[in-house]
Amino acid sequence: MLFNSLEFLLFLPIVFAAYWSLRSWKWQNVLVVVASYVFYGWWDWRFLLLISFTTVCSFLSGVWMDKLGTDTPRTRSYCKWISAGNIIINLSILGVFKYFNFFADSFADLMSAFGWNVDRITLKVILPVGISFYTFQALSYSIDVYKGKIKATTDVVAFFAYISFFPQLVAGPIERATNLLPQFLRAKTFDYQLAKDGARLILWGFFKKICVADNAAKAVDAIYGNIDGSNSTMLWIAAILFTFQIYGDFSGYSDIAIGTARLFGVRLLKNFNLPYISRDIAEFWRRWHISLNKWFIDYIYIPLGGSRVSKAKVLRNTFVIFLVSGLWHGANWTFILWGLYHALLFVPLILLGKNRKNMDVVAANTVFPSLKELLQIAGTFALAVIGWIIFRADNLTQLSQIVGKLLNPDCYGAYQGNIGGAAIVSIAILVTLEWFFRKEDCPLRIPSRYKAVRWAGYYFVAMYTILQYQVAQQFIYFQF
């Protein structure tokens, strides 16, 4: 079920009303699980078998480890193997559904390069929506139980709710059991202020998805659908528009997810923090897809030594997490190349010790940035745009065609096509509101002393979004 579908607009208020009519938090959890399985099974009921298996395996691994304990080297060793077994099972499922055909085709291509022809073995399977998200959420639980960061739960319904909670099930944020699971193990009371904040985020998320992302997608898809007939100017415009499209699409989903969770008294982690006003690429990655980046840092980067090793090893660790991040995004060499590109951008920052330089809010005490900050923001944005060119390409062949045109002066010319006034206006509204309200949790959170202005803003954004809505478009990150 899509957030931006009419079905969801009917589904949400029904579940919301039923949820708060129940007085027992345990029955509320039952409702969450049922609603989440309806929400996820709306695409294909067979997906439910897979997420159920992942949930059961992770739940049982936690119970088993808790029963054995880690008081002695022997039991700790057993728990280590139990955790490892659950990791292997879940990664194997992810590997078969998401990466088997990619590696099989890559192996066949490699053999062909050496003159050996091998039969291509491929599986005709549907990639389950959001499988990478809930798999990583399940893995973190098993690892954290083994490390003693959280006690294993024996409440199977609460655990099912943790894995399948419908607002963030399909495209995150990727939650940790330490944050989300305890919220399903205690009673909740309706918090009007929290729900109001949630409604504001939902409205802003819909604006970013429907007005920014979907409008930009029209021009982007038209240009990428005809690379041969597009000149370099058009390709650059498509790259810039896609930069806003993917941000509006993905962060819009996150806003709707976080806002919807707040309606149910659940607090999810922030997943985006204005990444396009970053002053260097390290700051960009502290602001983009925050939950995934923290997952990689905690479970891959730090175990490899993190930053408390030699610079050579820090560089190695950085390349590892970015290559894994690229592969996480999909079974395509363009994603791996995209990860490698960003890892290379970190090299000078790490060597100069400046990868943690910009930790504060940009232009913290002024309305506008200084010239230096403006140039830094523009430079970082340009680097992000180049990265998204790699990311958006369907394959390496198309990428080489695009890059060839961009580097060829003879391929430049006048823009031929229609960007769409709605896309330009929507992006302008997005940039303006996010800049001037950059210190707020949501750009629509206008200070209360401007009550009339605030409600006028809500009305304008809501009406503008409704007028822009046409047909529910799938979110980009559903494919990951």
Q: Which residues are catalytic?
A: 329
DSSP string, 209-227: IIIIIHHHHHHHHHHHTTS
User: What number of other Cβ atoms are within 10 A of residue 282's Cβ?
Assistant: 21
From the list 201, 203, 208, 170, the residue with the least C-alpha distance to 266 is 201
From the list 214, 271, 223, 218, the residue with the least C-alpha distance to 246 is 214
The angle, 0 to 180 degrees and rounded to 10, between the axes of the packed helices 6-21 and 25-41 is: 170
From the list 164, 131, 159, the residue with the least C-alpha distance to 145 is 159
Tokens 């997005």 found at: 430
Give CA–CA dist 140/216, Å, rounded.
35
Give CA–CA dist 268/290, Å, rounded.
12
Give CA–CA dist 290/280, Å, rounded.
16
Tokens 């240009």 found at: 223
DSSP string, 109-161: HHHHHTT-------------TTHHHHHHHHHHHHHHHHHTSSPPP--HHHHHH
Give CA–CA dist 30/116, Å, rounded.
55
From the list 2, 453, 65, 400, the residue with the least C-alpha distance to 209 is 2
Give CA–CA dist 430/464, Å, rounded.
13
Give CA–CA dist 414/392, Å, rounded.
23
Q: Is the dihedral of CA 444, 450, 455, 459 positive or negative?
A: negative
